Amino acid sequence: MTAYAVFFCDNECCSIDSVLAMDSDHAIAKVRRARPNIQRVAAVHANLLERVDSELLMAEWVKVSPP
């Protein structure tokens, strides 16, 4: 299993979950099971975010993602 950062927005908020999964689709499926009202979702391999400000990335993702 590999670590993924799953960015998501639901009816209440936007957030990031750290998930261990086989691939990005599996990571997204795990988060969707826990939060069935997700409207937007994206998974990024955690290694790609080692030197990235994830909160800033989340803010940018929210701005450009369609509702």
Between the CA atoms of 63, 60, 66 and 24, what dihedral angle is there, to the nearest 10 degrees? Answer: -160
What are the strands of the beta sheet with 40-45, ordered from one edge?
A: 14-21, 2-9, 40-45
Give tens-digit pLDDT for 15-63.
Answer: 999 999 999 999 999 999 999 899 999 999 999 888 988 888 888 888 8
Residue range of the domain that includes 10: 2-64
* CA pair distance 54, 22, nearest whole angstrom: 21
pTM, whole model, 2 decimals?
0.84
Give the pLDDT band of residue 64 (cuts 50, 70, 90).
confident
Phi and psi dihedrals of 4, rounded to 5?
-130, 145
65 pLDDT tier (thresholds 50, 70, 90):
low
The tally of domains found in the chain comes to 1
